[in-house]
Amino acid sequence: AYNFCAGPAALPEPVLQRAREEMLDYQGTGMSVMEMSHRDDVIVHMAEKAERDLRDLLGISDDYAVLFLQGGASAQFSMVPLNLLGDAGKADYVNTGQWSTKAIQEARRFCEVNVAASSEDANFSYAPAQSEWRLSDDAAYVHYCPNETIGGLEFDFIPEVDKPLVADMSSTILSRPMDVNRFALIYAGAQKNIGPAGLTLVMVRKDLLGRAGPTVPAMLNYQIHADNGSMYNTPPTFAWYLAGLVFEWLKEQGGLQTMGEINGRKAAKLYDFIDGSDFYGNPVRPGQRSRMNVPFVLADSALDKAFLAEADAAGLRNLKGHRSVGGMRASIYNAVPEAAVDALIGFMSDFEKRKA
């Protein structure tokens, strides 16, 4: 079966195999990673190796702290303002979909939010060009979501701003090379391209640490997590371990350059097929379509149920669109092989021939 789930998403088969082999006896300890103290040298080494591999993969310099946290990307919606606002009462946000909207709603608890640009009027089908952004002079930072997982919209540019740039990269991180140095802070829930749910990655420029006010809870303070190597409290050690295996696997594949080429091919052939058919459609502006999440609709939505049932029977799992938008969505993260996309296109083509 091929798993097209948007998250928790497919994990690479070799990673799962290795985790199974090591499940009961991690590195000759006679114990599972799950049973070991996070203060144990073996686990500390495992954690440090995962961080080193991640830094290698993304080219993260020592100017950044890398944090392995909990609470999902959703917790970052509040941790970002709590840690970056300082004395400023305002932040700029760009609204390009449901995840941006959630980040904005949460930030409004803490500050005035200037929505610098939005594509809501066009059903979030494009990313507003930077020339249209109305940034404020007194914002503490600028936040955007480079890849909207639900709408399937991906920015085709990295914004140039003179404030700290913050990005929710939950569904695009590690899918291709990117210049992390252009960002002040990047966060991502793990359950797409990183590992299992329960782990959240934050990369934050060190000069931005220490801005949280005295009422910010310790667990929500980046500085405290950075000072404690993300072990201020008990971290999700097993998820951290699996993420480390995913990073090793990515390096074995040839790193993000190779992943970017494969992912580019996967997305291009699926969009080409959709565009070449009147039976299927995708509403997102070409050039800004997500390489990770491909939403599509059938011209006749009365066929949705049959499509999903038959796809499932053919081993093509989790193709249902997000409950808020309906239709279909194929998430084609790193662990989804090119053969899965070929199988999906084959199925879609056959379904069209039978039902059109």
Residue 318 annotated as binding site: no
For ligand PLP, the closer of residues 74 and 136 by Cβ is 74
150 vs 348, which CB is nearer to ligand PLP?
Answer: 150
Residue 149 assigned ligand-binding role = yes
Of 99 and 351, nearer to ligand PLP (C-beta) is 99
Is 96 known to sit in a ligand binding site?
A: no
Residue closer to ligand PLP by CB (options 173, 298) is 173
Per the annotation, does 74 bind a ligand?
yes
Q: Which of 53, 168, 240, 266 is catalytic?
A: 168
The reply to whether 73 sits in an annotated binding site is yes
The question of whether 240 is a catalytic residue gets the answer no
249 is catalytic: no
Q: Minimum Å distance from CB 112 to ligand PLP?
A: 22
Q: Is 240 annotated as a binding residue?
A: no
Q: Is 320 labeled as catalytic in the residue annotation? A: no
Q: Is residue 200 a contact partner of residue 11, using CB atoms and an 8 Å limit? A: no
Catalytic residue among 99, 249, 266, 320: 99
CA nearest to 53, candidates 42, 68, 40: 68
| Shortest distance (Å) from residue 170 CB to ligand PLP | 4
AA identity, residue 155: F
Which is nearer to ligand PLP, 191 or 221 (by Cβ)? 191
For residue 303, the minimal CB distance to ligand PLP (Å) is 27
State in angstroms the smallest separation of the CB of 198 from ligand PLP: 9
Q: How far is the CB of 335 from ligand PLP (least distance, A)?
A: 16
Binding site for ligand PLP (CB under 6 A): 7, 72-74, 99, 145, 149, 168, 170-171, 189
Q: Binding site for L-glutamate: what residues are annotated?
A: 39
Q: Binding site for pyridoxal 5'-phosphate: what residues are annotated?
A: 73-74, 99, 149, 168, 191, 233-234
Q: Binding site: what residues are annotated?
A: 39, 73-74, 99, 149, 168, 191, 233-234
The residues carrying an active-site annotation are 99, 168, 192
